[in-house]
Structure 1
Amino acid sequence: MKLRVYLSGEIHTDWRETIKQGVQEAGLDIEISAPNTCHEDSDDCGDKILGAETNNFWKDHKASKINGLRTRKLISDADIVVVRFGDKYKQWNAAFDAGYAAALGKSLIVMHGSDIVHPLKEVDAAAQAVCETPEQVVDILRYVMTNQLP
């Protein structure tokens, strides 16, 4: 069985690389996708593709629409969506991705620290698993694919 896993959420730590490495080391047949994690490219894609804007609202609007095309496609194609909430910034986009995945009936793994359980209680309630570390995500994926515990 091959799984397609989309990694959504905060972009300020290396959690995606930890999951990719763990999946590879475990020999799991998983195709991993993710949003564009380069702030500048994500913010500037509208300007660079459709032309520069002088008003930041329209610059952000164009970029979010183009990024949204990619995000919708990748979440729609995913078997499992992993959403990581970090502690540094409020990740409204991550919450939106979790809700979108839940609305599509996608299996959802939510990852965050224990200090933000309360504000994420509704997101957590929609998830099939809630964990705190990338290693736990890999263990969940290993169990799903091989029925083996760590």
Structure 2
Amino acid sequence: MPWTVYLSGEIHTDWRQRIEAGARERKLPVTFTSAVTDHDASDAAGDHLGAEDNAFWRDHKSAKVNAIRTKTLIEQADLVVVRFGDRYKQWNAAFDAGYCAALGKPYITLHDEALVHPLKEVDATALAWARTPEQVADILAYIITA
């Protein structure tokens, strides 16, 4: 059976590419989807609805346009991986994890040990906590081929 895995979270490191490479190496039948990872493009998602003088309203419109993609792809996914980096606060990733929990959608969190305490509620409903993208690839290999 082909799997669809949604990759949520920080956009400043290569964690997505490392998971995808691990799946390719194992020849896993996985399609990966994601939010828009081009930060400038994501921030400008609502600009075609009209210019805004106030940054709040620009962000608000762009967040709603981006949510169309995020909501749809999470709902279509078989599994979600939610990455929390140590450099930026990923409130959107926390929201995605909560949305998965509300839907009963299985998700894996991916973050360093230093974030265990701040993410304890998010991790409590995750089905796994991984520290490296390679661990996520190992989990995918197990659940798909076991």
Q: Same fold judged by TM-score > 0.5?
A: yes
Q: Residue 37 of structure 1: SS of its match in structure 2? A: coil
Residue 101 of structure 2 corresponds to residue 105 of structure 1: no
Residue 87 of structure 1 corresponds to 86
Please show how residues 37-48 of structure 1 align to structure 2 within 5 Å.
Answer: 37-47=37-47
Percent identical pairs in the alignment equals: 60
Residue 129 of structure 2 corresponds to 130
Residue 53 of structure 2 corresponds to residue 51 of structure 1: no
Q: Residue 89 of structure 2: SS of its match in structure 1? A: coil
Please show how residues 1-150 of structure 1 align to structure 2 within 5 Å.
Answer: 1-47=1-47, 49-147=48-146
In structure 1, what residue type is equivalent to 2:60? H
1:110-134 deviation per Cα after TM superposition (whole angstroms, max 9, x unaligned): 0100011001001001011101000
Aligned-pair CA distance for 1:102: 1.0
Distance in structure 2 (CA, Å) of the matches to 1:55 and 1:116: 33
What is the root-mean-square deviation of aligned Cα atoms in Å? 0.6
TM-score by length of 2: 0.98
Aligned-pair CA distance for 1:52: 1.1
Distance in structure 1 (CA, Å) of the matches to 2:25 and 2:45: 34
Q: Residue 45 of structure 1: SS of its match in structure 2? A: coil
TM-score by length of 1: 0.96
Task: Give the count of matched residue pairs.
Answer: 146
> Structure 1 stretches of 5 or more lacking a match?
none
